[in-house]
Amino acid sequence: MKKEKTRRAVFTRRVLMLGAGKTVLMGLLTGRLWQLQVTESERYAVLAEENRISVRLLPPPRGSIVDRFGVPVAENRLNWRAMLVAERTDDVGATLATFSSLVPLAEHERARIEREVRRRRRFVPVLVRDFLEWEDMARLEVNAPDLPGIITDLGTSRTYPFGETFAHIVGYVAPPAEADLDGDPMLQLPGIRVGRSGLERQHDRTLRGRAGKVQLEVNAVGRVIRELDRQEGTPGQVLTTTIDAGLQLAVARRIERDSAAVVVLDARNGEVLAMASSPSFDPNIFAEGVSAAQWRAWTTNRRNPLVNKAIAGLYAPGSTFKMVVALAALEARAVTPQERINCHGYVELGDARFHCWKKGGHGPLDMREAIKQSCDCYFYEVARRVGIDRIAAMARRFGLGVDLELDLPGARAGLVPTREWKRATQGVPWQQGETLVHGIGQGFTQVSPLQLAVMTARMVNGGRAIQPHLTRAIGDQLVRGHRPEDWPAIGIPEAHLMLMRDAMAGVVNERGGTAWASRLPPELGVAMGGKTGTTQVRRITLAERERGLRRQEELPYEWRHHALFVGFAPVEDPVYAIAVIVEHGGGGSAAAAPVARDVLIETLTRDPARRTTPPPPPRPEPQRVAAAAPLEGRR
């Protein structure tokens, strides 16, 4: 019995110890609970709130882009979409089968839908079909009771009604890449697009607008319980360009068979009225995704449809550069307008012989005649007298070889060489022979068609340093620069400018002028002025010259000269300036001047710079790439 007593005593002691231990452990739990629920409560309350509330962005509609008269060139197309919410139907297969009987679904579409349904949570809508026709939508709505789980909604997608015609100006949109992420949370949204080139890219922030916000109460798997707060965003602003869509369409059609570029400016204020580069591409293709084959076709095409040749194509200016040389000589008093310089077909300098384009020479010519007949010997001599540095300085004042700060991505500055430039980049001194070559716009000089148009505009607008621009208004706000007085003078005497204008008028409107064949028809009642240019893409060898020059049409396409023309109209009171380049077109007077003539006829008829209401609206008709244009050129 004693043994039982000690055993019970041990047991009692130990049970009390167990009881105490358990009480202490429970106490510890309670203490920890106090810590979590009371002491650190605030920290966890914040975390809880974050857990519960989900902020979602509401993307605003992207601003549209319109031409100067309000014709839309980039807008948002309504996009009716049908989605499937798997949890609202008992049988996804049956719903899709019914859907398919109303709006046929291809086998691969069904496979994609079923795959996505399996992968996503069951309350997340899966896209069944977008860009539905109105008739399809009506059919789906009428049959809604037989389509459990199908919901429809209205989204938007970007569309370019003019297609290829405006591709290089408006650009296109694409899903944002890593480099586009600029801190705007909107870019994280699925389906969002950013401007990838052209005005879409230049004015992306303006067009994009500001996202609205909606605060939603959600549960752990993201299902929305209810909406707590909503702030509407700011829609993207409407961008008005300086382009006249009707003129743009006409210009694009005129050059669609060539590899060419045309720029039409309002010479008085620098507004770009038309800017076409051909061949072009259809930016609408980017909305649905570019196939590998399509992309390869674009990038391997030797005519570079993706490149805007008007601003990114660089060419030697050729004879269109001669006015700049003349103005530099007049300013330096190296020659007077009346001085006659004799041309007998070539100029010799040391061992080298520099040929005039006209075999046998022009004879003695003054400055006006030299420009009108585009005599090379005259300008060899004048350039030799002036020197390359003064020619380069003059060229820069006319916008050649400088960054014109165009409001469009991708514009290239080109190159106007100086002695300093050659020493710095090539390490050898400038040769006098090079000065002669540059006097007729060949050599290192590289300019864009846009720069040539700017040069012409500054020459005929009384010497104002207009800068080209494509933005006319953002929202209701006109941008600076639409008035001529907004631009400073470049400091050329009026008499010199008038002489150039008169000489360029002679080029077109007098017999013996290089563009006489392309003069405007008299019934228009307006005349134009201009200057042709032809630039060699390869050197003519002495052997070839002795054998006799072959006709351009007989040369392989890549060897043919580029044809250039710069011009303006009307002659008496210039409003429009134009630059045309036809790649491998042959001669400036034969290939480029006729384009300029046709474009200026259209321009003067529509007269976009001097009217506020549009002429009869152009009909947007997206065109095909002129793939049929033979590479061997016209005959």
Q: Are 520 and 527 in contact (CB under 8 A)?
A: yes
Minimal distance in Å, beta carbon 187 to other proteins?
Answer: 24
Minimal distance in Å, beta carbon 46 to other proteins?
Answer: 9
Tokens for 570, please give them: 């009307």
Other beta carbons less than 10 A from residue 390's beta carbon: 18
The question of whether 319 is a catalytic residue gets the answer yes
Q: Which is nearer to other proteins, 122 or 139 (CB)?
A: 122
Question: In sequence order, which residues have a C-beta less than 8 Å from that of residue 118 and are 6 or more positions away?
Answer: none
Minimal distance in Å, beta carbon 89 to other proteins?
Answer: 23
Residue written as token pair 């707590």: 228
Q: Which is nearer to other proteins, 45 or 144 (CB)?
A: 45
Q: Which of 319, 374, 448, 589 is catalytic?
A: 319
253 vs 181: CA distance, rounded Å: 37
> 142-147: long-range contacts at Cβ-Cβ below 8 A with a sequence spacing of 24 or more?
143/98, 143/102, 146/98, 147/95, 147/98, 147/99, 147/102
Tokens for 23, please give them: 């009480």
359 vs 380: CA distance, rounded Å: 16
Distance set, CA 530 to CA 360, 456, 565, 571, 572 (Å): 25, 9, 7, 9, 13
How many alpha carbons fall within 13 Å on the CB side of residue 385? 18
**DSSP states along 84-153:** E-GGG-S-HHHHHHHHHHHS---HHHHHHHHHHHHHS-TTS-EEEE-S--HHHHHHHHHTGGG-TTEEEE
Cα angle 242-247-250, degrees, rounded to a multiple of 5: 145
Q: Report which DSSP code applies to 417.
A: -
Residue written as token pair 């019934």: 523
Q: What is the enclosing helix (H) or strand (E) of 4?
A: helix 2-34
Q: Which is nearer to other proteins, 10 or 540 (CB)?
A: 10
Minimal distance in Å, beta carbon 245 to other proteins?
Answer: 52
**Strand partners for 230:** 214
Q: Which is nearer to other proteins, 29 or 144 (CB)?
A: 29
Q: Which is nearer to other proteins, 124 or 127 (CB)?
A: 124
Q: Which is nearer to other proteins, 38 or 292 (CB)?
A: 38
265 vs 251: CA distance, rounded Å: 13
Q: Are 436 and 383 in contact (CB under 8 A)?
A: yes
92 vs 308: CA distance, rounded Å: 49
252 vs 609: CA distance, rounded Å: 19
Phi, psi for residue 85 in degrees, rounded to 5: -105, 110
Q: Which is nearer to other proteins, 18 or 138 (CB)?
A: 18
Residue written as token pair 């509407």: 232
Minimal distance in Å, beta carbon 119 to other proteins?
Answer: 18
Q: Which is nearer to other proteins, 124 or 151 (CB)?
A: 124
Minimal distance in Å, beta carbon 19 to other proteins?
Answer: 5
Q: Which is nearer to other proteins, 18 or 517 (CB)?
A: 18
Q: Which is nearer to other proteins, 108 or 226 (CB)?
A: 226
Minimal distance in Å, beta carbon 24 to other proteins?
Answer: 11
Question: In sequence order, which residues have a C-beta less than 8 Å from that of residue 75 and are 6 or more positions away?
Answer: 64, 65, 158, 159, 161
Residues lying near other proteins in the complex (CB under 8 A) are found at 3-4, 6-7, 10-12, 14-15, 17-19, 22-23, 25-26, 29-30, 32-34, 36-38, 40-41, 43-45, 47-48, 51-52, 217-221, 225
490 vs 455: CA distance, rounded Å: 11
Report the catalytic residues: 319
